[in-house]
Amino acid sequence: MNEGTPTTLYPFSYDRANGIVFGTSHFSILKPEFDHPSTLVNMDLSIGYESVVPEPCEENFNLMFKAIVANHQNSKVNDLRTDLGNADIVAWQSLLTTFAKISCNSYSEQRDVKILAQRYNGVILLDEYPSFHHPIDPKVFYMGHNLRQILTTSFDGKDHPSCSVDISKACYLAQTKEFKTADDGSVRVFYTSKVDALKSPDSNEVIEIKTHKATLNKYFYPEKGILYWSRGYFAGLKEIVMGLKDVYIDNEDPNIKLNHKHRNNHPNIVQKIKILPTRQIEQLTGINPERINNYIAKAFLKIKQQFEDPNVTYVDMIIAYTNVRYEYEIKLIKHPKNYVPAFQPLPQEFLDSYPKTN
């Protein structure tokens, strides 16, 4: 792993039955038969979906604050910054991925992203404006959870019940990472990384399990490499387990010519399980972690500098699309102390646990 590996403050899991559980005791465990570089399978991930009544799931951001509050109840200090590993800023994993994509000219959303930053008890907390949240297709969400259940056992070593997918189940690492600029500027960021399972019952190594609608053809690394690398890199994972859905596995048949418009005819079926080392994705995609870290550090330092003015409590950060493909610029708008934002991102239980001191 490259320099700048994140520091894990604590792992935790969540499901509706048990709530927040600290440690890895409730993490699922990867089945031994899938702990190989490549495994052929034939899994229809949509099985059981029709019998499931989709329920709203806890968003990652809300769970992060639930974990912060629960950890605070167990801590011996009464200081937010200390509980957050001495972080300057609280963000979230997908924002780091967005910055990584922009720095590599591979962010193709072609829209502005608007984020509210606020200073609270010596820490700057970020959240995306609600109108910018894009809900996941419930069927896609279900199939992702179904794949994780198929490939893993529960924490007690037993198989998960077939056709009974708990979409509330999630595992996380509460982490900090220091981002540095080329001129020695630095900022420490707290965030939670979503992970899926322990690699083995006698190991603390965690993995993430993802699906990909196509195969590892020549378009995978230029188009998707930065996404999957970011998921592994910012969580400090050595490997990502991929469920590949394309019928033309790895394009091994030289007589099959795939083009950019090729579409998978079996979108619900995983054909192959493949383990991708994060370092390998980095090399094949041509990613420069130092450049990405430098970009992220500069973006966060710009926000931090706005709060050097004691009269500033809120700042809007707009990642603005320039109407040129892949080109974005960061705009910052400072607001005075009496400013009332359009929404309050901090849950009430968080505000109750950390009464405002500044």
Which pLDDT score is estimated for 255?
43
What is the average per-residue pLDDT within 295-320? Answer: 92
Strand pairing category for 269-277 and 38-44 = antiparallel
Position 57 confidence tier, pLDDT thresholds 50, 70, 90: low
- Summarised one tens digit per residue, pLDDT across range 179-200 is 999 887 899 999 999 999 999 9
| 96 conformational bin, left if phi > 0, alpha if psi -120 to 50, beta if neither | alpha
Per residue in 320-344, pLDDT (tens digit) is 877 766 678 889 999 988 888 888 8
Q: Read off the pLDDT band of 291 (50, 70, 90).
A: very high
Q: How confident is the model at residue 167 (pLDDT cuts 50, 70, 90)?
A: confident
Determine the pLDDT at residue 283: 93
Classify 274 as helix, strand or coil: strand
Q: Judging by DSSP bridges, how do beta strands 28-30 and 197-198 pair with one another?
A: parallel
User: pLDDT band for position 258 (50/70/90)?
Assistant: very low
Tell me the per-residue pLDDT of 267-284, one tens digit each, with 9 for 90 and over.
Answer: 788 988 999 999 999 999
Q: Is the pLDDT of residue 246 over 70?
A: no
Q: Quick one: pLDDT at residue 203?
A: 86
Tell me what pLDDT residue 75 has. 84
What pLDDT does residue 325 have? 66
Q: What is the overall mean pLDDT for the chain? A: 85
Q: How far apart are CA 337 and CA 334, in angstroms?
A: 10
Measured distance between the N- and C-terminal CA atoms of the chain, rounded to whole angstroms? 38
Instruction: Output the pLDDT for position 180.
Output: 93
pLDDT tops 80 at residue 251: no
| Residue 5 phi, psi dihedral angles, 5° rounding | -60, 135
Model confidence pLDDT, tens digit, residues 12-29: 999 888 899 999 999 999
Tell me 251's DSSP state: G
Across 142-173, b (16+ Cβ under 10 Å) vs e yields bbbbbbbbbbbbbbeeeebeeeebebebbbbb
* 34 vs 26: CA distance, rounded Å: 20
